[in-house]
Amino acid sequence: MSIVQTTRFGEIEFKDDELIYFPKGVLGFEDDTNFLLIKPDQENPLAFLQSITTPELTFVVAEPFSFYQDYEFDIAESVKEELEIEEIIDVAVWSILTIPEDFHKATINLLAPIIINVNKRIARQIILNESKYSIKTLLYPQISAKGGE
């Protein structure tokens, strides 16, 4: 077991095979190449993506298909090769959430999802060519619709 220091959660223990390697880091954080996916509730499509090297770097991530059932995209061949993806079952998709003070206004980045090869534990953030998706999609569009904001 290894230990990582985190700003939000204090010390966390983890097994080395739980680490996820991001060869290119994440956009804006290219030097952070090792992350832990912390999923407190296995049933829920929400988790934290914690950097091993930077204690204060924690992303809140969500499985986009749980919030937007029609979400779809292709993974480029070059990305499949890079992540050594052989079958669709190897793939997990997580999207970064931006959470303002009022968490009801949280947004999800559907244009740049994080693709993880769960077997090989390699991942990267990709930028979709489908411009129909936005970097800031409301996680709860229903709320805005009702509140008329």
Distance CA 146, CA 131 (A): 27
Q: How far apart are the first and last CA of the chain?
A: 48
Q: Give the nearest distance from C-beta 119 to another protein in angstroms.
A: 21
Q: Residue 16 or 40: which CB sits closer to another protein?
A: 40
Q: Name residues contacting another protein, limited to 4-63 (CB under 8 A).
A: 8-9, 26-29, 40-41, 44, 46-48, 57-60, 62
Tell me the site size for another protein, rule CB under 8 A: 44
Q: How far is the CB of 71 from another protein (least distance, A)?
A: 15
Could you say which residues in the range 82-121 bind another protein, by CB under 8 A?
82, 96-101, 103-104, 106, 109, 111-112
Q: For residues 45-83, b (16+ Cβ closer than 10 Å) or e, as one string?
A: eebbbbbbebbebbbbbbbbeebbeebebebeeeebebb
Contact at 8 Å (CB) between 107 and 137?
A: yes
Summarize the chain as % helix, strand, coil (round to 5). Answer: 15, 35, 50
Minimum distance of another protein from residue 19's CB (angstroms): 19
Q: Least distance to another protein from the beta carbon of 107, Å?
A: 9
Backbone angles phi, psi at 21, to 5 degrees: -95, 120
What number of other Cβ atoms are within 10 A of residue 21's Cβ? 14
Binding stretches for another protein (CB under 8 A): 8-9, 26-29, 40-41, 44, 46-48, 57-60, 62, 66-67, 76-78, 81-82, 96-101, 103-104, 106, 109, 111-112, 125, 127, 135-136, 139-140, 142-143
